[in-house]
């Protein structure tokens, strides 16, 4: 009887141990699968171009290809590699002489040919992965350069308009300063210059005199010589 009880207790213990091992194995397997999918999501997120909403909250703004290339090559701050971003932007737009610029980028390196090939291959891989996502925003991908060109044109027009206004203000200020220097626009009306000296109307001879030149050009000296003659 005692032997039977001992056998039953041993079998129960073996069953409990086996059950505990199965449960632990299942939990471990679940944890491994969860970690795998989590790492896969992080890895996939790294190769997906960023998309964020504009300030208005409606139009999505897609990560530029040059910034995408810098991020894929391990640069946390794209401002630390401006030449690489420029080469990537020129390469995707197939600008004239872009390949020569890439080769010139490595001309001082001992293995320039190999580095040139590797960089071009990296650009090609980035192009494939860049256009492999966000097909809903394909129009934004295709029109990046046009939007940049339009922005630059508008910015240039704004600059020209502001510069024109500044030029007008500068010309006006210069005329005022010249009039003050000549005494025509003196703050005290009681002061009269040789040109504005009071005299009878019969003695006046109106003359239209056009003189050019900035301050210090000698206009006052010429005017005095004319009055003396």
| Termini Cα distance of the chain | 151
Q: pLDDT tens across 11-23, in order?
A: 666 666 677 777 7
Strands (E) across the chain are located at: 51-53, 60-62
* pTM assigned to the model: 0.44
User: Rounded mean pLDDT of the chain?
Assistant: 70
**Mean pLDDT within 171-196:** 56
More confident site: 113 or 138: 113
At residue 41, the 3 state secondary structure works out as helix
Q: What's residue 176's pLDDT?
A: 62
Tell me how far apart the alpha carbons of residues 209 and 223 are, in angstroms, rounded to a whole number: 9
Task: State the pLDDT confidence band at 186, using cuts at 50, 70 and 90.
Answer: very low
Q: What's residue 21's pLDDT?
A: 77
Q: What would the two tokens of residue 115 be?
A: 């580095």
Q: pLDDT tens across 41-82, in order?
A: 666 667 777 777 666 656 667 788 888 888 888 888 888 888
Q: pLDDT tens across 121-130, in order?
A: 998 888 888 8
- 10 Å CB burial of residue 110 (0-12, 13-18, 19+) is exposed
């Amino acid at each position: 009887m005692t032997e039977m009880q001992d056998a039953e207790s041993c079998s129960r213990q073996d069953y409990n141990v086996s059950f505990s091992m199965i449960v632990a194995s299942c939990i471990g397997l679940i944890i491994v699968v969860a970690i795998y999918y989590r790492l896969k999501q992080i890895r996939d997120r790294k190769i997906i171009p960023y998309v964020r909403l504009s300030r208005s909250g409606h139009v999505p703004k897609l990560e530029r290809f040059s910034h995408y290339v810098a991020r894929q090559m391990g640069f946390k701050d794209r401002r630390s590699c401006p030449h690489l971003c420029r080469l990537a932007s020129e390469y995707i737009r197939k600008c004239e002489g872009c390949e020569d610029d890439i080769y010139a980028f490595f001309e001082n390196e001992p293995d320039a040919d190999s580095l040139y090939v590797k960089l071009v291959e990296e650009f090609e891989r980035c192009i494939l992965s860049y256009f492999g996502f966000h097909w809903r925003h394909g129009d934004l991908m295709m029109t990046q350069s046009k939007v940049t060109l339009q922005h630059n044109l508008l910015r240039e027009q704004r600059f020209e308009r502001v510069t024109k206004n500044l030029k007008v203000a500068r010309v006006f200020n210069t005329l005022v300063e010249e009039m003050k220097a000549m005494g025509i626009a003196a703050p005290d009306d009681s002061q009269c210059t040789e040109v504005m000296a009071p005299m009878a109307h019969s003695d006046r001879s109106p003359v239209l005199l056009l003189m050019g030149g900035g301050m210090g050009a000698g206009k006052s000296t010429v005017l005095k010589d004319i009055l003396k003659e």
